[in-house]
């Protein structure tokens, strides 16, 4: 387990969110955020005035960032309280899953049920694929034509400003509402 480096003979500025160690003899300052063992900064300065100005600016910037983050979380909670996915999606809507590392895969899903205010059930659709280039092409979904062994998901949604996001069951998935146009897809072999 790595431990914090705390220099000797330092003046300490402690807050619930950060700690700063200042050595006025060597003109050094170290700042740690939260419980992190890695310093936010660890610098030597030319003068005590430059050191103090830098530390004051760092505190101001960090507190502004922290307060903005707290405010965004509070705003998101308020949005989520009144959020209802049925205002944005209806049964029959098409959502798309774009994924891949060295290739772009497209999967299309049709919303089959809206469960409560934030959950949708979607089933995977068949698609029409047309090769348009070397190992790549365009595809569109076949609406109301489900794959026999296609994926089915209960997807959570959450408010995002005046819209919404579809929460991914796996980190490499990117579910979004299909825009109604042909989509690029590539493959190997």
Mean pLDDT of 115-130: 93
Report the domain count for the chain. Answer: 2
- Asked whether residue 73 falls in the same domain as residue 100, the answer is no
> Is residue 25 in some structural domain?
yes
For residues 76-82, give the mean pLDDT. Answer: 89
Domain that holds residue 42: 11-82
Q: 98-111 pLDDT, tens per residue?
A: 988 889 999 999 99
Confidence of residue 174 (pLDDT cuts 50, 70, 90): confident
Q: For residues 27-55, give the mean pLDDT.
A: 96
pLDDT at residue number 91: 96
What share of the chain in percent tops pLDDT 90?
69
Supply the pLDDT for residue 169: 65
Interval 87-98: pLDDT, tens: 999 999 999 999
In a 10 Å sphere around its CB, with 0-12 CB exposed, 13-18 middle and 19+ buried, how is residue 76 labelled?
Answer: middle
Within a domain: 112: yes
| 35 within domain boundaries | yes
The per-residue pLDDT of the chain, averaged, comes to 91
Looking at the structure, do residues 123 and 47 belong to the same domain, yes or no? no
At residue 8, the pLDDT reads 84
């Amino acid at each position: 387990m790595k431990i914090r480096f705390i220099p000797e003979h330092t003046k300490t500025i402690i807050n619930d969110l950060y700690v700063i160690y200042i050595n006025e003899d060597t003109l050094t300052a170290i700042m740690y955020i939260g419980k992190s063992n890695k310093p936010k900064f660890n610098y030597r300065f030319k003068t005590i005035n430059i050191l103090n100005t830098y530390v004051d600016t760092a505190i101001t910037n960090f507190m502004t960032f922290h307060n903005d983050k707290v405010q965004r979380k509070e705003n998101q909670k308020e949005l989520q309280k009144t959020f209802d996915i049925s205002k944005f999606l209806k049964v029959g809507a098409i959502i798309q899953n774009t994924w891949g590392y060295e290739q772009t895969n497209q999967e299309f899903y049709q919303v089959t049920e809206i469960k409560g205010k934030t959950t949708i059930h979607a089933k995977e659709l068949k698609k029409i694929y047309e090769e348009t280039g070397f190992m790549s092409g365009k595809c569109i979904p076949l609406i109301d034509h489900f794959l026999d062994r296609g994926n089915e998901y209960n997807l959570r949604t959450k408010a995002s400003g005046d819209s919404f996001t579809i929460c991914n069951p796996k980190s490499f998935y990117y579910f979004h509402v299909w825009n109604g146009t042909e989509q690029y897809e590539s493959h190997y072999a």
